[in-house]
Amino acid sequence: MQRAPHFLYYIVIIFITFLLVNSFQKREIKKPKNTSEKYEIQALKLPNDLNLAGERVPLENDDVRERMDRELLVNTYWQSNGLLLLKRTNKYFPILEPLLKKYGIPDDFKYLAVAESGLIDETSSAGAAGIWHFMKKTGKEYGLEINKNVDERYHIEKSTKVAAEYLKKSKARLGSWTLAAAAYNAGNYGVAKQLKNQEVSNYYDALLPDETERYVFRIIALKEVLTNPESYGFKFEKEDLYTLRKTKKIIVDSTITNIALFAKKFGINYKELKTHNPWLRENKLNNKSKKIYEIKIPVE
C-alpha cells in the first residue's frame, strides 16, 4: 500500500511525456509556408445582388452559383490583368458611358467591351477587331467602312454605335439583356436556335457552347470587381490610372497623301495621330469619294 503513490507518479510522468512528444511530432510534420506569411488565397462570398442590366443572377441555382464563383475567382486573383483593366477603364469609360446612354443601352454593357477586348484596340486570332471586337462581315452589315486603308471597327464612337444597334436588335428578338449579351458572343441565330431546341427562354436555363456559357458570367464578374476594386484587394491612387489627352476634331474631305507630314502640320508626330485615330490603317487616306472624316488631333 505504501508504493501506490510512487506508481501514480510514474503514470503521470509517462502521460505528460507522451503529450510532449506528440506535440513535438505535430510541429515537425507541419510544412513551412512557401509564400509570404501574409499571402493568402481566400474563398469569395458571392454578393446576393449580382445582376446584368438589372436582371438578377439566380444564385440559388447550384450550377449558376458555381459558374459565377469561377469567373469571380479568376477575375479577382488574376491580379495583374485586373489592375490593368482598372487603369484602362479610367481612359475609355468616359467615352463609352455617354454613348451607351445616348443609344439607350444599359451602362453595364461597357463591361461587355472589357470582356471582349480588355479595352485594347487589337485584332483577335479569329479576325475580330477594335474595342467591341467586330468581325468584318458584321461590321460591314452595320455600315462600317472596312478596307486596307480605313477600318472603322477601330473607331470607338462609330463602333460603339454599331454595338448598340446590335444589342438592341438582340434584346428585341430574344427578350432580355442577358440573352442579348450572350448573342453578342454566339450570334442571334445561334442563341435563338438553342433556346427553341431546348424549349427554354432564359440564359441561365440554356445549355450553350462553352465560351458562351462563361461569357455573361465573365461580364458580371468584371462589373463586380471593377465597380468595387477595394473589396477585392486592388489598391491604387488616382494618378496610377491611365488617361487620354484632350483632342480637337479636324474635318477632312479630301485625300491625304502622307499622314506623317499631315500630322506635323499640327505639331504632332505620326504615332500620336495614329494613337488617337487607329481606324486610319495606312500612311495615307485615299478618300476618292470625297467622304467627310473627322480626325482627332491631340492638344495640350
Q: Are 132 and 157 within 8 A, CB to CB?
A: no
Residue 137 has pLDDT above 70, yes or no: yes
**Residue-range domain boundaries for the chain:** 51-240, 247-298
CA 297 to CA 244: how far, in whole Å? 12
Q: What residue type is 271 in one-letter code?
A: K
C-alpha cell at 223: 462589373
Strands 51-52, 293-298: pairing is unpaired
E strand or H helix that includes residue 56: strand 55-56
> What local confidence, expressed as pLDDT, does residue 1 receive?
43
Bin 199: left if φ > 0, else alpha if -120 < ψ < 50, else beta. left
CATH topology of domain 51-240: Lysozyme (1.10.530)
**What confidence score (pLDDT) does residue 21 get?**
60
Mean pLDDT (whole number) for 149-163: 97
Task: Summarize pLDDT for 283-293 with one digit per residue, the tens.
Answer: 999 999 999 99
Q: What angle do CA 109, 113, 117 make, to 5 degrees?
A: 165
- The rounded mean pLDDT for the chain is 91
C-alpha cell at 184: 453578342
